[in-house]
Structure 1
């Protein structure tokens, strides 16, 4: 309480007393001692009212002890059990969790991790991917304002995500790796990396690059072979020694048939080799007969052109040619889709040719689009021409059903610019994106698709889509999400397939550690999305003829099923409606590969470097007691006494109001009883 407040209270007390004395001692005719009681009651009442007006604030402190947090994270991936460290890992965890001194010193929080992190309930060492970088990043966010050293039980072999040694440099908490593995070096051959395009073209040669590694001190000789079925299509003799531990092998194979072709790369193992699993790696390519040719037509240079070309050509099945309007007229029949970027009067003859040839189009408008020309050359849509521009952000129509749209974070995308006013489409259409202005989603069209006279069309009412691609990268550290969105739109527009009531999204083949997720959309007879349908997938493994049926669950507007972890092999599937006679079928292949079985040793050097960088220390499983002693004796992890300050206003103290009311009532009663009123 401040000195000024105390002064006000003192003045209030003196004033209250003087007023009461003035009324009952100076002016009053009472001769009995009753006047002193009434004066005291009046003083209490007036002083209480003055206190409410002054409203002084009182501070109170509560003290408590806060123990540091000990974060224990256990690697639950298959590589731990493959290195025969699963039982040792469980022993270390039990020792840490049951140590009485450690529990008295720390609040122990336990987690397990693979590709993602979760609270520890049980350990089965079945995770097919390891992402240590993601684990450290999440712990840094959760325990940013706490003292929370991290004990990391892992072999240090990461298979997914950013380099954790780089992420560890930004971690403020000390890290104590417990190394699951030994330091013995065994002679080992391995295929470190394999680079190949996913799509190739019939009768074309496609490059294959292989990085072969050797760990050991002796000079050895081996042979690398590439198999297609039972046929060796390439082989090369390799020589390694203590100074030459790796070699890059490049070759080109020929695609002789359409479809998914499976290959196997093999390094002939050494007689003394301990891990032979990492000597073999399967890969596949999808051979296609022809490319989809897309014309991107412009009359004004803009960053959108490069962004669209990059996004579309991220799928090797497609080729984009950037052309001027007059360059396309004579070659229009060579393209399956024409993208018209901000058409102006130089597009006049091209628009007429497109109408005559019944070509599918994707129109992107902007601040320089000549709407009067567009409205004269087609009868599908109308734009109110105001010669003013506006900015607007996208809002996804979750009921859009022409093709499956992944759940991009459209709300974070920057605004586009185009003509002010609403766009009206005069044929049946579906809105994919609505305009959002000042955070409010409108019914105005930003991106829509429609079909008419046997052709497919789309219109995007805004320029600066390159900013969307950049924002997608900032959100996910990858262009993939945006590129896939554009490619699905392009795939729909460049295809002449009729619309079906069940749309399915899947890949023709998956690598062994890929997430095998199949998505579907179901529409009723009026082609309206049905979010209450009961769909299931019947999965048939053609290698062993096993069949199983799994329900599809509604997730973010799509019906999905996660088949990750299924055995390698060729699969045929049928997605069916459980109460209607409607279904769709397909097939895919899962290539055999387990990335968690590619390691022979723990990555000791990397774990030790991470510990040193974070001011921690690395230990082996046999040094658990030493780790516990370090944690208990380290002065950085002392219990901290903290306090909480509570500021309470007197006006919130209900007893003061009661005291004022009571004193006024007693004073009134005494005066009334004695005939003074």
Structure 2
């Protein structure tokens, strides 16, 4: 259905008829050449319609059309493609289900493991199962759509993400489950879990806690062995005295070789044991020579201290100490970085002078308790002249900052971050400083720094002149449910101040330990004699596996750096050689591809989870229930379409047809 409206009063449309009638009357009233009265009336009507309609178009008429669109109910098929269901191929059954229901439903098939992909599959090789991601992705794709049901073919085992029972979007539509797997516990001896620190230190003992489980193995004897490479470090006999057996074995291992070390735990397999993949567990521990010692020094408690400390604690390379200046008496030289919060206050202690004059990198956090007079005397890189009053300021990023990279997510975070409090006054910076953040007051970006760095006397110093950045962390977490941008900023501040300047011309960055099926990425930089980044030379990379097979690659040039994604490699230990062609600069190293064993740790299907999510159904019954469901109904969507009449092509062709027909008849009868 449709209606017509005009921008001018609709009554004027009658006037357009009168114009057409008057024009046709003037043309044909005294025309005696046309003998046939019916032909004369027909031509009169053609001319009246054309002229009237052309005048009507001057009123800018609009056609309002109401369109109806039928949306069939949607049926979503979700197939578990993880390794835990590799013995239960349901592809043919799901394909049949899709064919039998496509007449009544719009069918959307997917398969999932840790991610979700379109279509069904015969390959069940996923390393993880994430139900939460499945429901989040389906909600994103089908929000406010006519979803009748979700059919899940899975075993109820997940090892990443939230419990789907507590996901609100998992209960918005009916879920029908096809239960896969065996709920009968098979005879199984396994290493259930290994707890360990990923970082240990050379010459120290570090703990490894091994959790051994067995099912239906009563009166069996097993042996647990621990290897470092091919060297046997430990073995122990285990007497299994019950069918449902659990044993936690604490071990102490001496770190005698630095670098990334591979430790293999192996428990003997038993006769008639079906799943032997979970009898082996590999861990990788990075053995370091020492930790970075970081001191957080203050005279008062402050939420900024807790926010900064929370970032540092996520790095296992750091040892964090929090001390009060008035009671601090330890040796300064043991620390690799000292962060000073609100110091100096109202006293210039000898200990503080010793800290400032030491070679230890410093990070000043200037806040309302900082005594500006003492601060200006102690640190010569910044001079703040003011009346000890604070004002609200936003931050503005310096795009020319080059000491470390800033991600696009962090740059966006700066634009959305809440204001800080900074001293009102004049700021005078040393000429050798490099500013990352400036103060922004209203819409005006000033040259007063919020965050800058100095490295003029072979000692790195950072200064943060804003107070209240703990609110940044809370705001980001409230919006994103994480604090990635906040953590990136303060972790990179700490990393820059801690690391000694690399004076080599060829620098290479890569991960030493990568999970299987994760792409391996190398980043490289090459500097000329003036230590300016250049990328005129090509860089080659040769990766060698355990069998001596070589895989050659070439880096891509990106701005003034180099980038290389070599894809995924099988589990194993690899060495590589990177060379800047045309020079003598070479880098060598190693990395390990580690297995992900989560899917094979549990073999008993968890159908109780599926019962909690949905109903259990046989295939024929499932099709019948979905077809007869109350949600199996077509939704009619209506949409109003507004269009200017002058833009409708068929109206133009109709007018041309009338004009041409009148002209042809008059010409044919010799009236012109």
**Is the TM value for this pair above 0.5?**
yes
Give the number of the structure whose residues are more often helix, by fraction.
Answer: 1
Cross-structure match for 1:644: 639
CA contact (8 A) 2:520 2:567 kept: yes
Cross-structure match for 1:663: none
CA contact (8 A) 1:181 1:601 kept: yes
1:451 aligns with 2:450: no
Q: What pairs with 1:175-324 in structure 2 (closer than 5 Å)?
A: 175-216=175-216, 219-223=218-222, 225-229=224-228, 230-233=231-234, 235=236, 237=238, 239=240, 241-242=242-243, 244-324=244-324
Q: Deviations over 1:560-612 (max 9, x none)?
A: 555674233333334444565544333333344533333434433323322x2
1:498 aligns with 2:502: yes
Cross-structure match for 2:523: 520
* Structure 1: gaps spanning 5 or more residues: 21-31, 34-40, 660-677
Cross-structure match for 2:628: 633
CA distance in 2: counterparts of 1:343 and 1:652, whole angstroms: 73
Cross-structure match for 1:112: 111
Q: What pairs with 1:9-48 in structure 2 (closer than 5 Å)?
A: none
CA contact (8 A) 2:187 2:215 kept: yes
Classify 1:354/1:185 alpha carbon distance in 2 versus 1 (closer, same or farther; 3 Å): closer
SS of corresponding position for 1:448: strand
Superposed CA RMSD: 4.8
CA distance in 1: counterparts of 2:116 and 2:444, whole angstroms: 36
CA distance in 2: counterparts of 1:223 and 1:532, whole angstroms: 60
1:426 aligns with 2:430: yes
CA contact (8 A) 1:521 1:529 kept: no
SS of corresponding position for 1:309: helix
1:594 aligns with 2:589: no
1:375 aligns with 2:376: yes
CA contact (8 A) 1:367 1:389 kept: no
Cross-structure match for 1:675: none
CA contact (8 A) 2:191 2:281 kept: yes
Q: 2:543 aligns with which of 539, 542, 555?
A: 539
CA contact (8 A) 1:341 1:364 kept: yes
Cross-structure match for 1:548: 551
Classify 1:287/1:16 alpha carbon distance in 2 versus 1 (closer, same or farther; 3 Å): closer
CA displacement at 1:403 relative to structure 2? 4.3
CA distance in 1: counterparts of 2:257 and 2:193, whole angstroms: 26
Classify 1:61/1:405 alpha carbon distance in 2 versus 1 (closer, same or farther; 3 Å): closer
1:140 aligns with 2:143: no
Q: 1:570 aligns with which of 558, 570, 573?
A: 573
CA displacement at 1:362 relative to structure 2? 1.4
Classify 1:160/1:566 alpha carbon distance in 2 versus 1 (closer, same or farther; 3 Å): farther
CA contact (8 A) 1:427 1:450 kept: no
CA distance in 1: counterparts of 2:559 and 2:603, whole angstroms: 41
CA displacement at 1:441 relative to structure 2? 7.5
Cross-structure match for 2:36: none
CA displacement at 1:93 relative to structure 2? 4.2
Q: 2:75 aligns with which of 53, 70, 92?
A: 70
* Structure 2: gaps spanning 5 or more residues: 21-29, 32-46, 656-672
CA displacement at 1:62 relative to structure 2? 1.5
CA distance in 2: counterparts of 1:390 and 1:232, whole angstroms: 60
CA displacement at 1:275 relative to structure 2? 0.4
CA contact (8 A) 1:404 1:521 kept: no
Q: Deviations over 1:21-49 (max 9, x none)?
A: xxxxxxxxxxx99xxxxxxx99x999999
CA contact (8 A) 1:207 1:253 kept: yes
CA contact (8 A) 1:189 1:215 kept: yes
TM-score between both structures, scaled by the size of structure 2: 0.78
CA displacement at 1:92 relative to structure 2? 3.0
SS of corresponding position for 2:308: helix
CA displacement at 1:326 relative to structure 2? 4.1
TM-score between both structures, scaled by the size of structure 1: 0.77
1:411 aligns with 2:412: yes
Cross-structure match for 2:665: none
CA contact (8 A) 1:394 1:411 kept: no
CA distance in 2: counterparts of 1:469 and 1:551, whole angstroms: 40
Q: Deviations over 1:204-236 (max 9, x none)?
A: 4333333333344x6344446241334242536
Classify 1:16/1:116 alpha carbon distance in 2 versus 1 (closer, same or farther; 3 Å): closer
CA distance in 2: counterparts of 1:137 and 1:403, whole angstroms: 35
Classify 1:59/1:484 alpha carbon distance in 2 versus 1 (closer, same or farther; 3 Å): closer
Cross-structure match for 1:37: none
Higher relative contact order (CA 8 A, sep 6+): 1
Classify 1:593/1:416 alpha carbon distance in 2 versus 1 (closer, same or farther; 3 Å): same
